[in-house]
Amino acid sequence: MTDAVVFDLDGLLLDTEQLWDEVREAITRERGGRWHDRVQADMMGMSSVEWSRYMHDVLGLRDPPEELNRLVVQRILERYSQRLPLVDGAVEAVRRLAERWPLALASSSNREVIDAALELMAVSDLFRATVSSEEVAGGKPAPDVYLEAARRLAVAPENAVAIEDSTNGIRSAKAAGMHVIAVPNPHYAPPDEVLAQAELVLPSLAELTPDAVESASSRP
């Protein structure tokens, strides 16, 4: 039985994983930090508290984490205002499922970034709850953001279906006890052993239909 659907944001509805990397790398290099090849994988799914601390502690930036967080968010919002990088079929998929179930969003983005994105997508009114990982104890792959989304919707996690694209996102939703539909991001596709944890893997959001959600929720 499906009582609700919980969407991820970055990498799923918005093609922004590379954008976040570009912004954080630019700030790191501008301020004399030590960027390296593992940064993207290390920070994927982290909350703003976690990645800003990582930039300070691991990448060696002298600015306090709070200032790094502010700088990154400012630049992300500037880029969104110029062009929102929508994934094909994102708005249509949200609208399709909103006709059938209450929706929530469980995202690693900052609160102001989530609100701006949904407003620009013109779907804010379709989400009954939105949760930023900065509002919970731990970012993905910890289950906190999905558990909080279920709490705000007043549904049991095991009766919700999460829509995810990333390794840490899939692990987070599964740890929360939700059924998972994976729509892998082509730039950062999860390995096969992680995709195997999802009840259903779809090639694109065009295939994300109510029937697909029901199919995923019916699997043990």
Question: What element of type H or E holds 65?
Answer: helix 65-82
Q: What is the mean pLDDT of residues 113-128?
A: 98
CB 45 within 8 A of CB 168: yes
57 is catalytic: no
Decide: pTM greater than 0.85.
Answer: yes
In the predicted structure, residue 4 carries a pLDDT above the cut 80: yes
Q: What is the mean pLDDT of residues 120-130?
A: 98
Instruction: Give the relative orientation of helices 65-82 and 111-121 as an angle to the nearest 10 degrees.
Output: 10
Catalytic: which of 3, 10, 21, 144?
Answer: 10
Residues 131-176 pLDDT 10s: 999 999 999 999 999 999 999 999 999 999 999 999 999 999 999 9
Pick among 1.10.357.10, 1.10.150.240, 3.40.50.720, 1.10.1740.10: CATH of 17-82? 1.10.150.240
* pLDDT (0 to 100) of residue 220: 76
Average pLDDT, the chain: 96
Catalytic: which of 3, 8, 115, 211?
Answer: 8
CB 205 within 8 A of CB 217: no
CA angle at residue 214 from 118 to 148, to 5 degrees? 45
**Could you tell me the residue ranges of all domains in the chain?**
4-15+85-217, 17-82
* pLDDT (0 to 100) of residue 46: 87
Q: Is 6 or 219 the better-scoring residue by pLDDT?
A: 6
* pLDDT (0 to 100) of residue 45: 78
Q: What is the mean pLDDT of residues 70-79?
A: 97
Percent of the chain with pLDDT over 90: 90
Pick among 3.40.50.1000, 3.40.50.300, 3.20.20.210, 3.40.640.10: CATH of 4-15+85-217? 3.40.50.1000
In the predicted structure, residue 40 carries a pLDDT above the cut 90: no
10 is catalytic: yes
Going by pLDDT thresholds of 50, 70 and 90, the confidence category of residue 178 is very high
